[in-house]
Amino acid sequence: MQPGRDVEYVAFEAGDDYASLTRLAGLVAGEDTVTWLTVPTTDPAGAAAALTAAGLILLKRSELLMTADLRGHPQHVPAPPYRLVTRIDSQQGDSVVTATAQHESGEVGARGTMGLTGTIATADRIETMPAHRRKGLASAMMSALARTAIEEGAEHGILIASEDGQRLYTRLGWQPVAEVLIATTPGNTYPS
């Protein structure tokens, strides 16, 4: 979890339904804890107006909701001295795949997760550590996540891409399907 992000709602179905979005934004604005609302939308101006009218504060970010057919995901492997470690944790029919690119020293160079539900795999917390960037680790890690997700029955991937990650995901065949707005409760000291 990111600092200052105690609770987060994701409004996948309400992004262009302004009556539902306004109701949800009102609930979020009334939360006692620091709360974020993430809204994928094809109409960012309309969604932004609904969020601010409900009393939420929009964060200045440029994120995209992206999807991919994992069965066609390109495969990359890390160059030595790195190796990939992949783990699957299952609970109540759903699974989480964790991939880590480790340096031979044991230091983590990159990491990420993919939550699996049916044929859908949701990538999250994809990160390359600063000292290990520009070495192809993110591509190799995404390949490992996709490969393992396919082995577990997933076919389609979904993720929210930061501005920095969008170039990587586009190179790997992910397609943008909506812009993503992020709003938070008033008084939140949030990273921009």
Tell me the pLDDT tens digit for each residue of 74-95. 999 999 999 999 999 988 778 9
- The CATH architecture one would assign to domain 74-172 is 3-Layer(aba) Sandwich (3.40)
Phi-psi region of 35 (alpha: psi -120 to 50; beta: other; left: phi over 0): beta
Nearest C-alpha neighbor of 170 from the set 148, 138, 192, 144? 138
For the CA atoms of 104, 107, 109, 112, what is the dihedral angle to 10 degrees?
Answer: 110
Where are the chain's structural domains? Answer: 7-64+178-184, 74-172
Count of all residues that appear for the chain in the document: 192
Q: So what's the pLDDT on residue 190?
A: 52
For residue 113, give Cα distances in angstroms to 34, 41, 61, 97, 185: 24, 24, 22, 5, 27
In degrees and rounded to multiples of 5, residue 115 shows phi and psi of -85, 135
Q: So what's the pLDDT on residue 33?
A: 80
Tell me the pLDDT tens digit for each residue of 33-68. 878 899 999 889 999 999 999 999 998 778 999 999
For residue 132, give Cα distances in angstroms to 26, 38, 170: 42, 29, 21
State the average pLDDT over residues 95-120: 96
State the average pLDDT over residues 172-186: 93
CB neighbour list of residue 106: distance below 8 Å, 6 or more residues apart: none
CB 99 within 8 A of CB 76: no
Long-range (24+ apart) CB contacts under 8 A made by 145-148 are 145/86, 145/97, 145/99, 145/112, 145/113, 145/114, 145/121, 146/68, 146/70, 146/73, 146/114, 146/121, 147/73, 147/75, 148/86, 148/88, 148/97, 148/99, 148/114
Tell me the pLDDT tens digit for each residue of 5-35. 567 888 877 666 788 888 888 888 888 887 8
Asked if omega into 81 is within 30° of 0 (cis), the reply is yes
Query: Residue 64: is it exposed, middle or buried by C-beta count within 10 angstroms (0-12/13-18/19+)?
Result: buried
